[in-house]
Amino acid sequence: MNDSPADEPTPNQVLLRLAQRVRDSAVLGRSRRISGLFDFLVDCAVHGRVPKEIEVAIDGFGRSPSFDASKNALVRVHVHKLRAKLEAFQNEHPDPQGLRLVIPKGEYRLLVEGPGAAGALPGMSQSIPANQMQWSRRERIAALCVAVLLVLLLGLLVQRSRQPQPEPAVAAARASALWQPLLNDDLPIQIVLGDYYIFGERDASGQVNRLIRDFQINSSADLERRQATQSSQARQFEDMDLGYLPTSSAWALGQLLPVLAASGKRTRITLASELDAESLKTSHVVFIGYLSGLGMLADRVFAGSRFGVGNSWDELVDVEGDKHYVSEAGMPHPAAQRYRDYALISTFPGPNGNQHLVVAGTRDVGLQQAAEMLASPRRLAELLQKSASSNAWEALVEVYGMNRTNIEGQVLVVAPLDVAALWREPGALQDAVP
């Protein structure tokens, strides 16, 4: 006899409902590997199967039985990314019944957690005992790094949730004509970090033995097009669904986050490779990163600018002044030798009454200097005095660095932007312009 109500969902129905909710959200992105891994783990959970790493590689990713998990982190990397996507989605959009899909740390299975989950899904919420988990040294170090990062992020969130009175310097910066258009309304702020897509290269045995950054390949779609047009490279390169950020982006974010967080506004952090056109219309966008990491923002930044990119992203050309500014930061330098870098700061209205701010450097010290300037009331006031417009201008800053640290900087050019050209050139969200 069944004591449960007739309409009570079965454990598998609960699991499949939560899984479909994740799929419908599009949080898995366009990566076939991430979505395929998710479908594989859902199928395993439905059938009560707890796969091992080698099984995920063979059955989930189509690898051969000779796959060596000790030398190839393919499964661990993608499971980590899937776990992060699930956590981010469910934190932002909690299930009405308080249930969550989770991938326990150190495991390769999907289970349901939440009120009544253990009873509804018997056997699916048990964890592997610690004495049965054998982690490699690399995995222990990675776990420690993730734990430290989570602690730091938790500290930032707690600090923001308390909303303490801002320090005088932060309050003064926030009150400036640069930050007020972003902070003094109800629109959300989207912090965009300039990232770089990287992919794997196989060796003669078919194993991925190195990662490649190619400026002509900036997404999985770009790699697929390269493989389709150059069949000889179809099996040579592998989409690892990976990217990287310059270390200076994190440092610059740390400088600017107090100014943004003190406002108490809704603030999201995303990657330039994941930025969508809708955000350009509905959010204030703050870009932090290298000029070469602007992604879809590059066309807008330079559409109404007096500057252009030269022979590489390390070179800016002043079209009006016929001058070339070439960064020296990409060259090798002794620790005590000074070298020159550049920063570009740009702020301009979006297509729908919002405001965009670009904090960029050709390399690390340029980006560091730009962030310092925009967080310093004194330097910010000096910069704003030179701008003819409060909401549409750009500044080129020459920066001297030493051992990857910005030492000093001076503003070379402050010029208004051609606002009419920003959103009325081809590919500039024509339909969004009022």
Q: How confident is the model at residue 26 (pLDDT cuts 50, 70, 90)?
A: confident
Query: Is the predicted pLDDT of residue 82 greater than 60, yes or no?
Result: yes
> Residue 66, Cβ neighbours under 10 Å: how many?
9
Q: How confident is the model at residue 11 (pLDDT cuts 50, 70, 90)?
A: confident
What was the pLDDT predicted at 143?
44
Q: How confident is the model at residue 425 (pLDDT cuts 50, 70, 90)?
A: low
Nearest CA to 23 among 108, 15, 282? 15
What's the pLDDT tens digit per position in 157-180? 444 444 444 578 888 999 999 999
Query: β-strands 208-212, 196-202: how paired?
Result: antiparallel
Mean pLDDT confidence for 309-325: 89
What's the rounded Cα separation, in Å, for the pair 178 and 184?
A: 11
Query: Is the predicted pLDDT of residue 134 greater than 80, yes or no?
Result: no
> Residue 317, Cβ neighbours under 10 Å: how many?
16
What was the pLDDT predicted at 428?
44
What's the rounded Cα separation, in Å, for the pair 68 and 55?
A: 11
What's the pLDDT tens digit per position in 65-78? 777 776 677 788 78
Query: β-strands 355-361, 284-290: how paired?
Result: parallel
Q: What angle do CA 210, 213, 217 make, to 5 degrees?
A: 125
